[in-house]
Amino acid sequence: MCSFPTKKKASNEQRPSDILKFLQDAGVDTTSITITKKDWDRNDVVYALRKAGTNMAALSKKHYDNRSTLNNVFRGHYPRGEQIVAKALGLEPKDIWPSRYS
């Protein structure tokens, strides 16, 4: 089997904790700074489910009669559906959709 070396992509993204530490080291008062997490994009959720070995249609068929019912999680707050998706990913719904649980 042939394997090709993979190149790591350079990332300009920094973790929020790194940014806070940088600001604190620079003498900035960070007590009034709040860091908010963004909701996952629809494509991120779909990709994570595929990586976990399932997809939206399969989860929807397993828990509902219709294969598209679970897509309602992308239209707005839908606690039961959010719980199903999060459980399939080994997460809590608030980790995927923090704006809905704040």
Q: How many domains does the chain have?
A: 1
Give the domain extent around 97: 37-101
Residue 30 domain-assigned? no
Nearest-5° Cα angle at 77, 49 to 38: 65
**CA–CA gap between residue 72 and residue 66 (Å, rounded):** 12
Q: Is residue 45 part of a domain?
A: yes
**Cα–Cα distance for residue pair 6/83, rounded to 1 Å:** 35
pTM: 0.66
Query: Is residue 82 in a domain?
Result: yes
Tens-of-pLDDT digits for all 102 residues of the chain?
455 454 444 445 556 667 778 888 888 887 777 766 789 999 999 999 999 999 999 999 999 988 889 999 999 999 999 999 999 999 999 999 999 988
In a domain, 69, yes or no: yes
CATH code of the domain covering residue 49: 1.10.260.40
**Residue 95 located in a structural domain:** yes
